[in-house]
Amino acid sequence: MRFHKLCVLGLGYIGLPTASTFATHGLRVVGVDVNPQVVETLRNGGLHIHEPGLRVLVQAAVASGNLVISDRPEEADAFIIAVPTPFYVDHLSAANPGEPQQPDVRHADLRAVISAAEAVAPFLRPGNLVILESTSPPRTTVDVVAPILERSGLKAGSGSNGDGFLLVHCPERVLPGHILRELIENDRVIGGIDLSSALAARDLYSSFVRGEIVLTDATTAEMVKLMENTYRDVNIALANEFSRLAERFGTDVWEAIALANRHPRVNLLNPGPGVGGHCIGVDPWFLVEAAPDITPLIHAARTVNDAQPEFVVDLIRRTCGSLEGNHLTVLGLSYKPDVDDLRESPAIKVAQTLARAGALVTTYDPLTPTATVPGCQPAETLEAALHSAECLILLVAHTSLKNLDARRVATQSSARIVVDAVNGWVASDWQAAGFHVARLGVGEQMLSRKNGA
């Protein structure tokens, strides 16, 4: 192995597990973050993010002496950039008074990538390898990162001749909640700006990756990552649209999806309150921004998924009669089940919209019991959340919420209505315990039949 010392820029959900895994596989790693609080927390043995198994891994990496935390990069054999790439929204006003409002335009926010590349440039030496792991719009590696690094005086892609540096895009593809396992087991796509760059990165990652490592060019690797998340977004949008159709036609979308998925070439995902997190709701916009004239489907899928929290609010309104002054308890706040990550959570959007409509909303999430939502009352225990509610709304299928016992809840809560937006509960159990049940994607005729009306 030609790489002994690594510098990882960005110690978030991807950078910290990656830095720690390299360190526990024998490399010397400097983990760098620009946020002084992150640096201080990690140096004091703490952790600023939650991911199963991460605490033990970081502790092992630090204890081995191979991982040191720093606020600036230093000379190394290889540099990994793993910083966030969110988007920002341009709210365009109408061209002239009286004309229709222009649609919002989203732009990839590459500031963190740019400053990380600028921070690396002064330390680049001939033969060094630079890896961009951050999800990025097509051509970022070639058109944005390479020119910044070339300010070092070295040329991108001539690393093997000894007078330049090596550069690849190697997108992170790990699933929050399963990051440590997927980091090792998933196949890895490495896109080099030339073959010697890709081969060098394969050499580095093969120190711990057990999945297959496949080589391609940098822009294809960028596309692959964006296509994966866009595929998922479009598939979820389709499921969400099916949930609306099922309501209209008086059918049960969950049953219909399960039956459709028995077809050997159909694999529909699930409807829900919308798409949250920092990846799937973001990355498709990078493609739309790069080529708005040829991406109507991707754009439409984003629009459908962004409108889904409102659709769920509408279901709650129809079920409860009105929202004004109604005591509603929202169960689950995170962006998906069994994680405590609240970023861009559709459940939070639902809770906020209910509160804005005049409902008296209590929120409870077993994984983040102290989380607060503006306009809502947080409950730190399930008992407090259930106590004085008129309606219980399941927005995240956390295992502990799915496992709630309907008969027990009936004794703990004054609520007699439940709305299940994630197919987390067996409707007949709740009906047997005396609840009126409404479910996302289940038409009224089907509901009243199942509610015994």
**Minimum gap (Å) between residue 342 Cβ and ligand SAJ:** 11
Burial 66-90 (b: 16+ CB within 10 A, else e): bbbbeeebeebbbbbbbbbbebeee
Query: Using an 8 Å Cβ cutoff, are 135 and 172 in contact?
Result: yes
Least Å from the CB of residue 349 to ligand SAJ: 11
* Nearest residue (CB) to ligand SAJ, 157 versus 332: 332
Question: What is the nearest approach in angstroms of ligand SAJ to the Cβ of residue 82?
Answer: 11
Phi-psi group of 325: left, alpha or beta (phi > 0 → left; psi -120 to 50 → alpha; rest → beta): left
Q: In terms of CB distance, is 329 or 345 closer to ligand SAJ?
A: 345
Q: Which two tokens stand for residue 427?
A: 């409707």
Residues with Cβ within 8 Å of 239's Cβ and at least 6 positions away in sequence, in order, are: 253, 257, 268, 269, 270, 271
User: In terms of DSSP bridges, do strands 327-331 and 391-394 run parallel, antiparallel, or are they unpaired?
Assistant: parallel
Whether residue 5 lies in the annotated active site: no
Nearer to ligand SAJ among residue 157 and residue 277 (C-beta): 277
DSSP 143: I
Least Cα distance to 201 among 159, 148, 154 occurs for: 159
DSSP-based three-state secondary structure for 81: strand
Task: Report how far apart, in Å, the C-alpha atoms of 130 and of each of 4, 200, 415 are.
Answer: 14, 10, 57
Shortest Å distance, C-beta 364 to ligand SAJ: 18
Per the residue annotation, which of 225, 336, 349, 402 is the catalytic one? 225
Q: Which residues bind ligand SAJ (CB under 6 A)?
A: 135, 172-176, 228-229, 232, 236, 269-270, 272, 275-277, 279-280, 335-336
CB-wise, 157 or 281, nearer to ligand SAJ?
A: 281
How far is it, in rounded angstroms, from Cα 174 to Cα 409?
Answer: 36
**Cβ proximity to ligand SAJ, 257 vs 415, nearer residue:** 257
Is 279 among the residues known to form the active site?
yes
Give the Cβ contact number of residue 311 at 10 Å.
21
CB 123, min distance to ligand SAJ, A: 27
Of 7, 279, 376, 391, catalytic: 279
Q: Report, as residue numbers or ranges, the catalytic residues.
A: 225, 279
